[in-house]
Amino acid sequence: MGKYFTFILLLLFGSKFSLAQQNYIDHTIKKGESVYMISRRYGVSVNAIFNLNPGSENVIYAGRTLRIPKTDNTTTTPTNAVINDTIVRNYIVRRGETKFGLSRRFGVSINLLEEQNPHIVSMLQEGHTINLDISSEIAQPKATKGQHIVVKGETLWGISRQYGISLAQLEAANANRLSEFLQIGQSLVIPDKASEITVEGAYIVQRGDTKFQLAKRFNMTIAELEEKNPHIVTMLMAGHRLNIDATDSNQTEDIVDIDQATNNDLDSTSTIDSTNTVTKYKNYVIEPKETLFGLAKKAGMTIDELTTLNPKLLTSVNAGDIIKMPVGVSGTTINTIPKPEVETTDSTKTQDVVDSNTVESTIPTSSHRNNALFANLAIENSSGIYFYTPFSSEELISPKERQKMISINSDFQKYIDFFQGAQIAIDSAKALHLNFDVTLIKKNIAKSKIAIESPHNKNAILVPFSDSSSTFPQIQSNAPISIVDIESDIISNDSINIYRSITPETIQKTKTLNYLAKQNGNVVVISDLDEARNKDLILNILPEATFLQVDNAGFFKSDNLNEVLDKTKHNFIVFDSKKTIVLLNTTTALMGKLSDHKIQLVMLESSLLPKQTEVSNMRFRILQLIYPSMTDPQNQNDILKFENQYEELYGIKPTRHATLGFDVTFDTLLRISQNTSFEDTINTILSEQPHLKFDYQKTNDKTYLNTGMYLMQYNSNEGMIELKE
C-alpha cells in the first residue's frame, strides 16, 4: 500500500512540475532591452517577470535567459502558430487587437508589420493571419526629388518650414496620404513653393471652408456640389478632394444674394446679408498684429459680417492666413498661401527640470482674477511646500534616473509632466519674491507615519496622483500643515485638513442641471440606443425631464421630436451620448426646428465636445450650446503664455498633467504666502489660475472640495459668455 501511495505522490509531483514548466516561456535577452520593454512585448507585468526571475529587478544581461510567465494572450495563441525571437508564423488576430499592440508584442515597427502583411494596411480585422520575419529590417528609403521621408519626431508644421512651403500646401498635396498621425518612414509629396492648393479639375478643402462658400466660389448650387461629390453630403472636411467645373480661385469672385442658395448647408450662418446687391471680393493676406476688430473696420463691415464671410476668423486671427475682403481694401493680396514667419522648437529637446534662476516667470497677466491673493502677499514670512512623489530629488533632477523609472513604469511620466509644470509655478512665485522652501517626500509604503520638522509657520503637502488611499501615511508635524490632493482621493488619518483641488465631473454635471432647473424650461434628454448615461442624476434634479432615444445613426423616429418639443417654453436639449454621428444628426434635426421653437443645446460634460475637425463650432453657435468647463475659454492670454513658456523650456507642448502642476502649485504658493492661515484663504478667497478656478467648499470637518468650474454658452455671433450658476 505504501508503494502505491509513494507512486501516486510521484505522479502528482511530476504532473505539477510538468505544468509549472508549461506556465512560462524562455526569452533570450538582447542588447539594449529592458525588463519593461520585454514585459510590453509579451503583454505581462514587470512585477510578474521580477517574481519569476529573482535579481532581475536590479540588472539583466544580454545573452542570458528570462522566464516570461504565460498570459491569456500566449495560452490562446492558435496551436499551429509559431512565435519566437525571429519568426512569427500563422498568428491569428483576435478581437480587440490593434496594429500598435501587435507591434509592441512582437517587438517590431508598425511599418514592418504592414510591409510583411499588406492585407492589414487598410484595416486590421479579427481572423487575419500574421506572418513576420522579425530579424529583417525595412531598408530606410531614400527620398527622391519632391519627396520627403518622415523620421521620428517630425511634424507637418516642421516639414512645411523645412521646405519653405505653407502647411496648407503640404496638407493639400498629401490629402490622400495623411491620417490622424504621421508614421515614421511615411512618404510625403513636397509641392513646389509656388503651387496652388487646387489641381486641374479638383479642389482640396481647407480648414474653414463651407459648402455655401465653395458653391459660390465655383459657380454652382450646394445641391450640384453635393451631386458631384457625394462623399461630402454627410460632412465637409478639410482634406476632401472636390470635383469642380472650374478652378477660378485666383480670380475676383462674386458673392450673390442668399435667396439663390439653399438653406441645407449647416456649416453656414443664418446672418448672411440677403439684399440683392452683388459684392466683389478678393484674397487678402492677414498681416502681423492685425485684429478681428481692425480687419472688420478695414473691410467696412461688422465683425459678424466679416466672420460670416470668413468663418475661420471665429477661431483665431493668424498672420499669413488668406481671407476674403471687399475689392478696394488695401493690403497684401496674393494667390498662394505665404510662409508664416514663426519660430519652431526642437521636439526632441531633453525634458530636464530647469534651474529656477534660468527661467522667466509665468505670472498670470489677468491679475484682477486674483486681486485678493496678490494684494496681501506677505513676502517677509517664510513657508514650506512639500511634494509627495515616487521620485527622490536626485531622481527627479537626473534625466537618466527619470528615464530608468519610466522604463519600469510608464505611468511615472505623468509625475514628470506635473513637476515640470510645478517648476514653472515655483519660478513664477520666486519672481514675486515669495519666501519658501521646496522639499520632496519620496513614497515609501513601508512607512505608516511621516514626521515633518519644519522651521516655517505655514506648510502644505501636494499629493499628485496617489494610486491608493490606504497607502498614504499619517503626517506628524511640529507646525501647521495642509494637504492638497491632486486626483489622489486620499483620506486623512489625523487632524490635518485635506483640500481636493480638482473639480470632479459630478460637480460639473450637478451645477449645469441646477442652472437648467432655475430656467423653468422644457428639458429633453437625447441619448442613443443605450440608456442615458446620467439618467438617475438628471431625474434627481429635473424630475419632469423627458427622455428620447435615437437609433445608432442618430435619427429620430417619425414625429418623436415634435412630440417632446414645447412651442410655449424654452426647450433645453440635453445631449447625453458619446457618438459623433448622433451629435451631427441630432443637431441637424434641432436646427430644422428653430423656426417654430426656442431651442438650446446642453451638454453635461465638456468631454462630450468633439474636435472642431469633426463637428463645426457653427452648429454650437446656432444652437447656443451650454456646457461646463474646467478651463475658461476666454482666458487665452494666460493659457498661451504658459504654453509658450513650457514649450520653450521642454521642447514639447504641455500635457493636462503639466497644467495641473502649474495651476495647483502656483495657487497653493499664493495661499500659504498670505498673512492669514491657509484655511482662512480657502474659506474667503476664490481664485483663478490660467486653466483652473479654485472655489473650495467644506464637505466635512476635515475635507474641502474645489467646486470651481465655468458654465459657458456659445454666442450666436462670436465668442462665448459665462453663465452665472
Q: Tell me 152's DSSP state.
A: T
Per-residue pLDDT at 27 exceeds 70: yes
| Residue 217 three-state SS | helix
Q: What's the CA gap between 598 and 571, in Å, rounded?
A: 6
Q: How many CB atoms lie within 10 A of CB 558?
A: 8
Crossing angle of the two packed helices 399-408 and 413-431, in degrees rounded to 10: 140
More confident call, 373 vs 291: 373
Type of residue found at 57: E
Supply 699's cell numbers. Answer: 464637505
Q: What's the CA gap between 645 and 426, in Å, rounded?
A: 13
pLDDT tier at 469 (50, 70, 90 boundaries)? low
Among residues 707, 641, 650, the alpha carbon closest in space to that of 419 is found at 650
Per-residue pLDDT at 322 exceeds 80: no
Among residues 508, 504, 458, the alpha carbon closest in space to that of 479 is found at 458
Q: Which of the residue ranges 277-281, 289-293, 295-299, 521-525 has the most confident prediction, judged by mean pLDDT?
A: 521-525
Supply angle C-alpha 382, 385, 387, rounded to 5. 165
Supply 388's cell numbers. Answer: 509627495
More confident call, 433 vs 222: 433
Q: How many CB atoms lie within 10 A of CB 489?
A: 15
Supply 556's cell numbers. Answer: 429620430
Backbone φ and ψ for 347, nearest 5 degrees, come out as -70, -10
What residues have CB less than 8 Å from 431, skipping those under 6 apart? 361, 363
pLDDT tier at 528 (50, 70, 90 boundaries)? confident
HSE value, Cβ hemisphere, 13 Å, CA-based, for 66:
31
HSE value, Cβ hemisphere, 13 Å, CA-based, for 130:
31
- Least confident stretch, 88-102, 351-365, 552-566, 691-705: 351-365
Start-to-end C-alpha separation, the chain:
84
Q: Tell me 403's DSSP state.
A: H
CB 468 within 8 Å of CB 487: no
List, in order of start, the domains of the chain with CATH numbers: 24-76 (3.10.350.10), 147-189 (3.10.350.10), 356-503+636-694 (3.40.50), 505-628 (3.40.640.10)
Supply 498's cell numbers. Answer: 485635506
Q: What's the CA gap between 422 and 663, in Å, rounded?
A: 8
Q: What's the CA gap between 252 and 324, in Å, rounded?
A: 10
What residues have CB less than 8 Å from 688, skipping those under 6 apart? 366, 369, 370, 632, 635, 694, 708
| Digit-coded pLDDT (tens) for 249-259 | 333 333 333 23
- CA torsion, points 464, 364, 637, 604, in degrees to nearest 10? 40
Per-residue pLDDT at 13 exceeds 50: no
Supply 84's cell numbers. Answer: 519566437
pLDDT tier at 354 (50, 70, 90 boundaries)? very low
What residues have CB less than 8 Å from 398, skipping those under 6 apart? none
Supply 605's cell numbers. Answer: 460634460
> What is the pLDDT, as a whole number, of residue 368?
56
pLDDT tier at 234 (50, 70, 90 boundaries)? low
Q: Which whole number is the average pLDDT over 698-706?
A: 88
CB 342 within 8 Å of CB 389: no
Go through the chain and tell me how many residues it has.
725
Per-residue pLDDT at 190 exceeds 90: no
Per-residue pLDDT at 204 exceeds 90: no
Among residues 635, 692, 703, 369, the alpha carbon closest in space to that of 508 is found at 692
More confident call, 639 vs 146: 639
SS (H, E, C) 26-87: EEECCCCCCHHHHHHHHCCCHHHHHHHCCCCCCCCCCCCEEEEECCHHHHCCCCCCEECCCE
More confident call, 625 vs 584: 625
pLDDT tier at 365 (50, 70, 90 boundaries)? low
- Least confident stretch, 172-181, 483-492, 509-518: 172-181
> What is the pLDDT, as a whole number, of residue 333?
39
Q: How many CB atoms lie within 10 A of CB 18?
A: 9
> Taking all residues of the chain, what is their mean pLDDT, rounded to a whole number?
75
According to DSSP, the β-strands at 626-629 and 710-714 are: antiparallel
CB 461 within 8 Å of CB 439: no
Backbone φ and ψ for 407, nearest 5 degrees, come out as -65, -25
Q: Tell me 6's DSSP state.
A: H
CB 404 within 8 Å of CB 353: no
Q: Which whole number is the average pLDDT over 546-573?
A: 84
Q: What's the CA gap between 351 and 420, in Å, rounded?
A: 8
What residues have CB less than 8 Å from 426, skipping those under 6 apart? 356, 438, 665, 669
What residues have CB less than 8 Å from 15, skipping those under 6 apart? none
What residues have CB less than 8 Å from 502, skipping those under 6 apart? 485, 486, 487, 660, 664, 692, 706
Contacts 24+ apart (CB under 8 A), 12-15: none
Among residues 659, 627, 632, the alpha carbon closest in space to that of 643 is found at 659
In this prediction the pTM is 0.52
Walk across the sheet containing 198-199 and list its strands: 198-199, 202-204, 241-243
Q: What's the CA gap between 669 and 430, in Å, rounded?
A: 10
Q: What's the CA gap between 155 and 348, in Å, rounded?
A: 12
Among residues 668, 669, 638, 677, the alpha carbon closest in space to that of 654 is found at 638
Supply angle C-alpha 558, 579, 597, rounded to 5. 45
Q: Which of the residue ranges 23-32, 477-486, 640-649 has the most confident prediction, judged by mean pLDDT?
A: 477-486
More confident call, 469 vs 69: 69
CA dist list (Å): 702 to 36, 199, 278, 503, 547: 40, 67, 69, 17, 39
